[in-house]
Structure formats: C-alpha cells, structure tokens
Structure 1
Amino acid sequence: MNRAVSAALLLVVIVGFTDAASTVESRIRDDNDLSQFYQLLEASRVANNTLMYRQVTVFAPTNKAFQNYFGNTDDLVLYHMSNLALTTDEFSTSILSELTGSPPLWVTRKTGSYRPEIYINNAKVLIERSNYQSSIPGNSGGSEEKQVLHIINEVLEPVRSNPTAQPIYNPDALQFLNQSENLNLGQHRIRYFRQRVHLMHKEEVFKAAGQYTFFIPVDEGFKPATRSGKIDQKVIDGHVISGHALFTAPTPNDKDYKTLAFTDNIKVTVSFLTENDGKDTRTYIKSNTLVGDNTHATGVVLAEIVKANIPVKNGVVHLIQRPLMVVDTTVTQFLQSFKGIDKEDGPVYKFYEAIMDVGTDFLNDITRQRQVTLFAPSNAAWEDSSLQHIRQDKKRMLEILKLHYVREQLPLEKILKNNKNLQIASIGRKPWEIFQVATAAERKSLYFNVVQGPSGNETITVEGGGVNATVITPNIAATNGIIHIIDRVLGVPYTTIQEKLRTDPMLNSTYFLGQRRGFNNQLNDTRKRFTYFVPRDFAWKAAEIKFPSTYKKLFMPEYSYHAEQILQRHLVVADQAYTMAKLKDMYFNDTVILPTMRDTLKLHVKEVGESYHVQWQNEWIHVFRPDVECTNGIIHVIDGVFLKDSDVQVNGSASLATLGPHLIMILIAKWLL
C-alpha cells in the first residue's frame, strides 16, 4: 500500500512539473532566442499578471528583431499581447491588443507562395515556431484558461506620443493628422497636407471606421510652393485605399489597388515598389492615373515611403516623400529630386550620376526639349561589372546615355498601340513586325516587343544596342515627358552571339538552322570576333516565296549540310567586328570583300536616310537592325537571305560530301540491298 501511495505521489509531482514547464511564460523564458522579449515581460507587472491568471495570445519577437529595432520599449510588451487565446487558424482581420486604448493588431494572410504566410502588422509569424498552446488554472477554481504563443520576426510598434505631450491612445487617421505634432514622428511634419484635408472638407475619409491604407505626404514634399494648391478633393482621395490595411512586408510589388479616386470620371490606382540597391532597401509608392481630366494628368507619380507602417485605429498610415497624382516637375527635375546632398536615394539616382559624370551638355539637352522620353536603368542595373571600365570612357558613356533618350513622348499605351497596329497590318504579308523609334544616338533606334504573360498581362521589352531590357516601372509622368525604369543598361552587351540568337524572338529560323549541325556552338567563343548578317524570320518567309523548293529542303533534316553552308556565307570571322558605319567607310564605289566561314562575302553598302542597305548578287537588302552588339561580335539583322536557287541541288552525280549524313545512310542501305 505504501509503495502504491508513493507511486501516486510521484505521478502527481511529475504531472505538476510537466504542466509548469509547458506554460507560455516558461516557454518564452527557456528559449534563448526570446531573451530580450522575456526581459520586457519580467519588467511588466500587468503582463505578468495576465500570464498568471488569464487567457492570452503572445506575439514574441526574436532577439534579432530587437537588434533591428531602435525605438522606445516602454510598455511595448502589452502591444504584443491580446486577451483572447488564438491560433493562426482563428485569426480574423484584426486582433485587439492589451495596450492602453486596445489598439488593433492588423492581420494579413499572404497566399500564392509555396507556403501561405501570416503577418501581424509588418511582422511575419514564424509558423514553424508558433501555435504553441498551454493552459493555466482558472480563477477561483474555474475552468482552465488557454494561452497561445507565436514567434514573429519584427518588433510591433504602436503609435507613440511625444514624452512631453498629453498621451494619445489608439488614434484614427484623422486624430493622427490633427495631433501629429504631439506624436513621435521623428523629424517629419504633415501640416500642409492636414490643411488641405480640412480646406477640402475631407475629414470623414480619415475618421471612417473600417480598414484603410493612408498615404500622407510630409511637409518637405510641398516644393515648389504652388504644389499645395493642387491638392484638391480628388487628389486627397488618391491617397486612400479602402478595404485593405497594407503593410510594406506582406504587400506584393506592382499589384494595383484602387484608391477612393477610382470613380466614373477619374481612375487612380496605387501600387508598392520595393527595391534593394545592394546597400539599402527602399519602398516607393506609385500612383497611376489611368484616366485623368483637365487638372489631373495621366501617368505615374513616384514617392518614397519615409516612415512606414504606422498602425492606427482604422488601418495603417505611411508617410511619403511627396504628394501622389500631382505632375508638376520636368524630366530633369524628377531626376534631380531624388539626389540628396548627403545621401544617395531614389530609384534611378545612379542613372543621374552617370549623366553628371559625362558633363552637363546631355542634361541641358534634355532640359531644352518640350517632349522627352527617358528609359532610365534601375540602380541595380548599374551593378553589372562590365560597366566599370566603360564608365571611365566619357565619350562611350555619352553614346550609351543617348541610347536611353527619345525626343518625343512615348507612354506605354503608345508603344502597345503601335505594336498591335503593326501586327494587324502585317497579316497576310509579314509574319511579324515590331515598333521602333529613333534615339538621340546617331542612327540608333530602340525596338519594342510585347510579351504576353500566362495570366494575360503584357510585359514590354526594349532593345537598344543589342541589349534587351524589360520595362519594370513605366509611365512616370513629368510636365515635358515620360520616364520608364528598365532593368538593364542599354548598349552594353552582356551576351554572346549564340545567346542573342537563342533569346531573340525575331531570329528563330536562323537559330534553328544553326542548331542542326552544331554551327551555333562556335558563336559562343569569346576569343573570336564575328560579324554575322542574320536573316530575321521575315526574311526567311520572303525566301520561301522566292525559292519555295530550296527553302523547303533547307529546313529538312537530310539537307542540314546545305543549310550550314548557307549560314557560313553570312558569318564573317576576322580580327575585328564590323559596324555598318565601318563597312560604309570601307566602301568607295567598289565592293567590300569580307572573309566568311565559307569563302568570301562580296557586298555593296549604301545609306538611305537613317537606314543601311547591302547589295548581294544584284539585290539590295535592307538592314533592319544594324549593330546589335554582343560580347564577341556584332549582329546585323537583315531583311533578306544570301541565298540562290542553285544552292541546294541534289542529283545522281552529287558527291557524298554535299549530302547530309541521313541521306548518305539511305543510299548506302539501298546499294547494299
């Protein structure tokens, strides 16, 4: 009997020890990665009482989160607790915190990735370490109280009052505006925007209950002084998104959200853009006026978030560098507005640096133009190592910069429309045509292609000087033009001729024929210098009409040897690559003779307007895209094929050397039979 009693007592002790060791409080205490949060927990009497006697949800930031946090930690722990015990499956759109005034914690569920993600305000819930549940005895012997622990990767920061001001608890966006001088916003002030909100009688927008995202421009963004007068009711509406509390971390890039200014008469959307230039991560807001009116220009206005993720009672506030929707700066002023005296900022500040490196003439030329379009490489695009030595050559850099500059307004819609019109016009006559436009660089154009995405979205690519770039931020509006941000620096080759052939959608036929017998492999050799006259797909279709039998054979496997010979005629191998300007200089009322893989190529060269033509076998052929630079040579895309009807002649007296291997095997098999 004594042995049984002892065993029972031991079991009670073990169970009691296990329960004590598995509480939320002890779980936090025993996790070394939560030690800084536990120190705050120990120092808060309210938090300790809550953990001892009540149900609770705790959001515990990791030590790394605290290392990245530089704010005040007083009473911070209560903003990380709620008086309801909730697992992630039980989260609603918001959770009331234990901080005075019960300010909400906003919940975002991010789907579409491999594993759905959950965010509390801007902090990511570390799912694999969360949903830890325990229970404590209820008060006065009542039922047990459940407690839940979640681990997060960021410290949650509520709205803070200045130490000398009357405390403000859980303000809505209007109270935030009205009491901003009493809030801890660092050096930022928002008086000018507040004045416009009151003057335009838009207070109701900022105090409405629900879930909103508010973009509030700081006072520094109201320059020039006339800008304030352009903040009318529609512009104010363009700074508010209804139905979403959008924090920066969980919000995807380039997803459009309708603002309150998306109505029957005007349509304005907003999207986020986060970029890393290798040193810092910055987030920008893009307002896109899709449909404007006499006082609200169409196009994109870009503003940096200078203080993000301020939670309020009815959503979240982001302080931004300048007002959205207001187009009142030139292209030059846009470039200059992001270049601080003591800092490097803005999405294209490295492009501006490159412009200033070559002198002021280029910038002055842009300033004088009444209509300008710039294709501005992103900051990340300038990290390419091949650019480092080129930037020392100011003459070369000036030519590269001119390639990014068009002396007309070229919004995205115009590019799309012109491309579609060319494709419609080419039905029945040309297999494919693309839109092109002359640049400020002499005799150099940009070529545009529209790529259809799987979900029906359209991506614009632009080629200049042999480099294909994607337009990543289009239609930034200025008073005298448009800026499109692209992901590469044009005119600085980064691919071999083989890679260019493989990826260019206009050169599929030539690439296909070159793959048959490994002809394309040599085009990857960076020790050689090639000049390749490459027929585009349209040229091959024209050859099919002119030489139908020859064309048909060339694309049959058994005639791959003949196809290779034709390609050899187009490929010049020498100690240098030849631009069209160089070939024209070599031509003085005589024939240009170039060494090819096959024998020699004899051409006449002429310039007609802005275009080049070459004559081969008494036929003038238009050079559709001259001087496509690659790392090991130059491609000239041509509108014809160096092809004769006699190039593919197979008869009984043909030698084995002129026959394809497949055909040779057939003849041998027949002879053996």
Structure 2
Amino acid sequence: MGSFSDRLIFLWLCFVSFTDATSTIEQKLREDPDLSEFLAMMERSDVVNITLSSRQATIFAPINEAFQKASYDPSLKNDDRLVKYHMLNLPKKTSQLGSSNTHLISDLEGNPPLWITHKSEKYDTAIYINNARILLVQSNIQAKNSRNMEQILHKIDEVLVPVVTRTIGQTDLYSPNAWEFIDNYESWMNIKNHRIRLFKEQILFHKKQEIFKTEGGHTFFIPVDDGFKNTKAVDAKVIDGHVIPKQVLFTSPTEKGENFQTLANSDNIKVHVAFSEETEGKSTMIYIKSHTLYGDKKGVVIAAIKQANIPVRNGVVHLIHKPLMVVDQTVKQFLELNKEKEDGPLSKFCQEIFHSEVLGKEFMNVIERSKQITLFAPTNAAWDESNLQNLLKEGSKIKDVLTMHLIPDEAVYIDRIANKEVVQKGTYNSKKNLFFSVNQNNHNRTFMVEGGGVMANIVQPDIAASNGVIHVIDRVLGFPYTTIFDKLKYDSTLNDTYVLGARTRVNELLNDTSRKFTYFVPSAKAWNQARLDLPSAIKKVFMHEYIYQAEQILERHLVVDEESYTMQKLKLMGNQTKGVDLKTIRDNITISVEEQNNNSFIIHWQGKKIQVFRPNIECTNGIIHVIDYPFVDKGDIVVSSISPLSITPHLLTLIVAKYLLL
C-alpha cells in the first residue's frame, strides 16, 4: 500500500465524494416545485440560513397550497419567527415525533410547542403537527449540511402559525400559556381584532385563572366579546365548561361528533362538548357544541369557531362566537336567526315557515304563547325530496306538514326518549301524533321520530332554547315518500313481519302503487308476546315448512279496497257492537274500533283487545297501523301426524290458481 500521505489523500477524496452525493436541505427544497413558497421564505431569513448551516434540524415545510389558503397577518410572511416555528434543533423522523397530546420544542424564541396528534384512519395512522397533516409519503427526506450534520424534511399541508407579539423584542411574552394569552390578548399578532375582555373579566371575578395556567396539554374555548348577551350568566360552572382537560384538540384531526368531558363534571352538573362541521353554501364552518346532560339548564348550545387552532404552551385555544352552556335565545329567535342565514343548514325550513305571512304568523304565535315547546327542524337536504316540491305549492298541505313538527307546551329532551319515558306525543296538528324509537347498534344509538308515515333520524338533539328544545332531523315529517314495502323493509321495529312476508309472497304485493292497502302490521313486540301465549303455533309460523299457513295469517292483516282507512275512518264505519267487515287478501275480517281519551285506539277482534301502537302511518300506496298483537289464534295452525308438506294435488291446484289471479 502507498505512503501515509497517499492514504490520507484517498480518505479525503472518499469523504468529499460522500458529502457531494448527499444533498442539503436547501437543495431538497429547490428540487421540489411544490415547496417554492417556503423556500423563498427561508432564503429571506439570514438567521435561518446560518442555523441550517451550523447544526442538526427538522424542517416542517408547508406545500404551496397551504400558503394560498392560510389566513395570517401578511407581515408574518417576512418575519423570521414564522419560519423558525417550522423548525426543530434535532433531526426526527415521523416515527420519532411522539404520541398524541405530547409536543416538540420548536426553534422559535421561547421554544413554543408543536403539538402532536395521531389519528387512526382506514389504512394507516395520520400524524398531525398542530393542525397540519404530515404528508407521510413525501416526508422523512434526509439531508446533511456542509458540516455533515443530519437534517430531516417533512412536508405538511398547512402553515404553522405561532402566537407572537406585534412588537419584536417582547421576549417575556413568547410561548404564553392559555391565561397569559387571555391576559395579554391585545398584544398578539394575527388574532383578527377579536376582543375577549368580557370573558377575561368573568374569569377574574370567579377566580378561575388557575385552570388556564395548568401545565400539560388541554383545550380551551374562549368566547369573543361580540357574542355576550348577559355576562352574569357566565358563572364558575360555565367557565369550567370551556375547558377540556388533558387533551389537545385541533380541528382537523379531531373526530367530529365525538364527545369530550369538560371540567364541568360533578354531582350537580355534567357537560360534554363535541366538534361538528357544516357546509354553508360554498364554505365549511366548524362549530363546537356543549351538551349539558344535567344541571341548571339542559340541552345543547352551539357556537361557531371564529378563530381555531391557536397553539399555547399548555394546549390549544379556539376563539368562539358566543359562550357555551349559556341558553340565551328563544325558539322564535332560533328560527329568525336561521332564516337570515341564506345558506345556513336550516334555512329552507325557516323559509317555508315565513313564506306565507298568515302561516308564519300563526306558527310563531304558537311558539311565543307556549311556555315550553319542542320543535323538529328538518335539514336543508331533507327538503330536496323531488315529490316534496309539488306539496310546497299547496298551502293547506304545507300547513299540515309544518304543524306536525311542533309539540306545544312541553319540552321533550332526548334522555326521555332514550329512557322510553316518552314513546308518542301529540303535535300542533291535532290529527297527527309523533312516535319515538331508539335503534341500538353495538355502542351506537340512533334516535328516531315518526310522523305521518315518515321516519326521520334525529341528527342533532337537544338544541337548548329558553322556552324549549329543538331537534334537527334528516327528513320532513308528514309527507310519505315510500311504499308499504319500503316502510317495512327499513323500519327495524317491523322487521319480523317483513321477514315473514318475504318468505311468503305477501311482500310482492306491497310495492304495487295501483292499489290501496290498509295493513295491520304486528310489531316485533307483538310477535314476542304471541310466542309466549302460543309458543308452538308461532314457532311454526316462522318455519319454512309452514309457509302456506304463515301466508294465510299475514293475508288476514292486509286489506285491499278502493281506499285506505285511517283508524278514525274505521271507527266511523262501524261500532263496537257490530263492527266493520273489511275485505282482506284472504277473505273478510270483522273488527270494531274503540278510541280512547288519549287519542289512541283499540281493535276488538274475536274477543281480543288489541292496542294500536302506531296508527295511521301513511305510505304512497296505503296506510299501516302497527298493532301490539297479531290477528292469530291457536286454531290457525293445526299440527297433525301428517307432515305439513303432504299437500294434496287438489289443494296445490287451489294455491297456484289463487296466486295467478292476484
């Protein structure tokens, strides 16, 4: 081998070749046209360039689109502080960034944190820095500077905006906690002229500063001054309801609709909050909803987030347009406010109310007169049903529909529906009742309301008003849009009858819109009760070998005539002594109808009293009456030693002929 000097030259050439082969961060940025905005910002900063040339680093580089949608003080674009908030002084791959609710120390003076959130998705786990998503496929880009120090580049989809003072040099105000942010709100750049003086005064009055100073990671909701109507309503409990402890929740990674416990959590009060997202016209709004489960005033209060995702040393701050938990509007004011929002999520419902001056005035008078009221408000999408558009042209029908969405003189909260304390209620439309049910699917519960043949999901329950409660629903009540077949198919409480009809040929009739049906449909509870009373017979009704007998029983429940019959009409057609003969698919059936004081009905059939659980469910081809016991008797299925499958040719011929004539 050569001399020592030759070997030294060889090693030096290898070193030079190695460092030349490794690009610097600046070169990596130049190679990516999608990072040109961030590169230009870096090049304007001498401090950043010197820093990158002298030590290790991690860079979170926003893509160009992130700058186009960012809303921050324009002067920050030429401010070293913005760039430095995107840097760490150690190289970290995405696997080294930490878990949710932990933070990294940024390179900005005062070392304000960069908060980490992991969000589980269908195929992988997304990682967020504050509210910016790391573009994982385009990240973990390794580089070395001229001193051979490791540096790592990650691409992100949003600009990271720190809390900084309007005047550079006020180092004592770097990296504020939530209380320091509130206490010095006029000093911060990029707060969009929002004032939070009134909430600060209530915090001081009730001596609640410490909850905003608590170390760790928390989420704080701060109402701006413009939304205050009554400062005295913001007491110590309400202030507690504006803090989610031990969780740092930025808007993008936080699951919408998930409930989070606030500091308002004691034997006397319990308040959850959840984020939601609504499309209004071409824009998307983020809301925060407080739900007081029990306390002075139950219900949901919804506040729009005016400025989201403000990072502080002990978590994140969201500025909201009004205080949470404080019920400061009547049902009337709720409707008037939503009427003014042309692209608001409930604007179409409000427009229909006020479209007719007479109807609107009557509707609002009922709301004003009632000390307590329950309103069901359909979303805008609910009004897009094509057949509904024709109804809107008929003034008398729209009145019947709208008045069905109103329960006067009572506030029906969702917990009463959940506990089955309330299963039906009369409406302002005196001829129509509403029926409530709960669908349990694993740990998820769906609350439903039915009126006039329409089953609607309650998509936002318990919006609180000072004189009642509002539930947002996904369909317009009182306007049938399905056949009897579809109603049975999609109503879980009628599933047993649907399954039985599918095994026979009865269901095939129920999509026919050229005929008028009246169908007495036993509920799931009805069949369960019959199983207890007639265990052997009902068991066989649902067995394949007894399809013919099952078909006979179902046909007894299905009336076909020139018109469909409401319970009121059936009552008028006969009397309790004589009854009324109805032509069913099978043969005739004689019943009598008794109306009770609470507007419910009892059917008398063969000595039995059968309660009508849900009367007058309108469909496009008839009416359903849900009954709590089937029209079945123990003599309907006679089991002999001969197999039920042993049918004579003559009987088989009769069965085939019957169906050919249908």
Sort the TM-score into its range (normalised by shorter chain): 0.7 to 0.9
2:125 corresponds in structure 1 to: 116
Q: Does 2:623 correspond to 1:634?
A: yes
1:47 corresponds in structure 2 to: 48
State the Cα distance separating 1:584 from its structure 2 match. 5.1
1:236 corresponds in structure 2 to: 239
State the Cα distance separating 1:320 from its structure 2 match. 1.0
Q: Does 2:414 correspond to 1:412?
A: yes
State the Cα distance separating 1:618 from its structure 2 match. 7.0
Rounded Cα–Cα distance in structure 2 between residues aligned with 1:660 and 1:116? 64
Q: Structure 2 length normalisation: TM-score?
A: 0.84
Higher mean C-alpha displacement, 11-20 vs 26-35 = 11-20
Does the 8 A contact of 1:375 with 1:486 survive in 2?
yes
- Deviation track 1:291-348 (CA, whole Å, cap 9, x = no partner) reads 42xxx433332212121111222221111121112234323233434554x6544x54
- Deviation track 1:505-525 (CA, whole Å, cap 9, x = no partner) reads 332332222121343234234
Rounded Cα–Cα distance in structure 2 between residues aligned with 1:548 and 1:58? 72
1:345-494 superposed matches below 5 A: 345=344, 348-357=346-355, 358-407=359-408, 408-419=410-421, 435-455=423-443, 458-494=445-481
Change in CA separation of 1:169 and 1:266 when aligned onto 2, cut-off 3 Å: same
Does the 8 A contact of 1:562 with 1:658 survive in 2?
no
State the Cα distance separating 1:120 from its structure 2 match. 1.0
Higher mean C-alpha displacement, 156-165 vs 124-133 = 156-165
Higher mean C-alpha displacement, 378-387 vs 111-120 = 378-387
1:279-294 superposed matches below 5 A: 279-292=282-295
2:660 corresponds in structure 1 to: none
1:174 corresponds in structure 2 to: 179
State the Cα distance separating 1:217 from its structure 2 match. 0.9
State the Cα distance separating 1:10 from its structure 2 match. 10
Does the 8 A contact of 2:25 with 2:145 survive in 1?
no
State the Cα distance separating 1:215 from its structure 2 match. 0.9
State the Cα distance separating 1:366 from its structure 2 match. 1.5
SS of the aligned residue for 1:26 comes to helix
Q: Does 2:487 correspond to 1:506?
A: no
Q: What code does the residue aligned with 2:626 have?
A: V
SS of the aligned residue for 1:506 comes to helix
Higher mean C-alpha displacement, 468-477 vs 520-529 = 520-529
State the Cα distance separating 1:385 from its structure 2 match. 4.3
Q: Could you say what the CA RMSD is over the residues aligned between the two structures, in angstroms?
A: 3.7
1:667 corresponds in structure 2 to: none
Change in CA separation of 1:398 and 1:472 when aligned onto 2, cut-off 3 Å: same
State the Cα distance separating 1:118 from its structure 2 match. 1.3
Does the 8 A contact of 2:516 with 2:621 survive in 1?
yes
1:57-456 superposed matches below 5 A: 57-71=58-72, 72=74, 73-75=77-79, 76-92=82-98, 93-111=102-120, 113-138=122-147, 144-159=148-163, 161=165, 169-183=174-188, 184-223=190-229, 227-276=230-279, 279-292=282-295, 296-340=296-340, 344-345=343-344, 348-357=346-355, 358-407=359-408, 408-419=410-421, 435-455=423-443
SS of the aligned residue for 2:393 comes to coil
Change in CA separation of 1:626 and 1:267 when aligned onto 2, cut-off 3 Å: closer
State the Cα distance separating 1:581 from its structure 2 match. 4.3
Q: What code does the residue aligned with 2:129 have?
A: I
SS of the aligned residue for 1:406 comes to strand
Rounded Cα–Cα distance in structure 2 between residues aligned with 1:146 and 1:645? 85
Structure 2: give runs of 5+ residues left out of the alignment: 2-6, 656-662
State the Cα distance separating 1:248 from its structure 2 match. 1.0
SS of the aligned residue for 2:199 comes to helix
Does the 8 A contact of 1:276 with 1:380 survive in 2?
no
Change in CA separation of 1:654 and 1:205 when aligned onto 2, cut-off 3 Å: closer
SS of the aligned residue for 1:34 comes to helix
- Deviation track 1:556-580 (CA, whole Å, cap 9, x = no partner) reads 3222123223323333445654443
Higher mean C-alpha displacement, 11-20 vs 113-122 = 11-20
Q: What code does the residue aligned with 1:636 have?
A: H
Change in CA separation of 1:649 and 1:203 when aligned onto 2, cut-off 3 Å: closer
SS of the aligned residue for 1:440 comes to coil
Q: Does 2:556 correspond to 1:569?
A: yes
Change in CA separation of 1:601 and 1:67 when aligned onto 2, cut-off 3 Å: farther
State the Cα distance separating 1:149 from its structure 2 match. 1.4
Does the 8 A contact of 1:558 with 1:661 survive in 2?
no
Change in CA separation of 1:560 and 1:518 when aligned onto 2, cut-off 3 Å: same
Does the 8 A contact of 1:277 with 1:379 survive in 2?
no
Does the 8 A contact of 1:61 with 1:154 survive in 2?
yes
SS of the aligned residue for 1:193 comes to helix
Structure 1: give runs of 5+ residues left out of the alignment: 139-143, 420-433, 663-673
1:29-48 superposed matches below 5 A: 29-48=30-49
Does the 8 A contact of 2:505 with 2:551 survive in 1?
no
1:598-613 superposed matches below 5 A: 598-599=586-587, 604-605=592-593, 607-609=595-597, 610-613=599-602
Rounded Cα–Cα distance in structure 2 between residues aligned with 1:204 and 1:650? 77
- Deviation track 1:573-626 (CA, whole Å, cap 9, x = no partner) reads 456544434555666998766554345555555544312445556766443212
Q: What code does the residue aligned with 1:438 have?
A: G
Q: Structure 1 length normalisation: TM-score?
A: 0.82
Higher mean C-alpha displacement, 387-396 vs 240-249 = 387-396
State the Cα distance separating 1:157 from its structure 2 match. 1.9
State the Cα distance separating 1:193 from its structure 2 match. 1.2
Rounded Cα–Cα distance in structure 2 between residues aligned with 1:524 and 1:186? 58
- Deviation track 1:76-107 (CA, whole Å, cap 9, x = no partner) reads 33322222211122223112223344322111
Higher mean C-alpha displacement, 149-158 vs 276-285 = 276-285
State the Cα distance separating 1:548 from its structure 2 match. 6.2
State the Cα distance separating 1:542 from its structure 2 match. 5.3
SS of the aligned residue for 2:547 comes to helix
SS of the aligned residue for 1:360 comes to helix
State the Cα distance separating 1:386 from its structure 2 match. 4.4
Rounded Cα–Cα distance in structure 1 between residues aligned with 2:650 and 2:52? 89
Rounded Cα–Cα distance in structure 1 between residues aligned with 2:559 and 2:466? 47
State the Cα distance separating 1:470 from its structure 2 match. 3.0
Q: What code does the residue aligned with 1:124 have?
A: R
Rounded Cα–Cα distance in structure 2 between residues aligned with 1:655 and 1:215? 77
- Deviation track 1:328-382 (CA, whole Å, cap 9, x = no partner) reads 4323233434554x6544x544433333234121122022111222233344444
SS of the aligned residue for 1:477 comes to strand
Does the 8 A contact of 1:165 with 1:182 survive in 2?
no
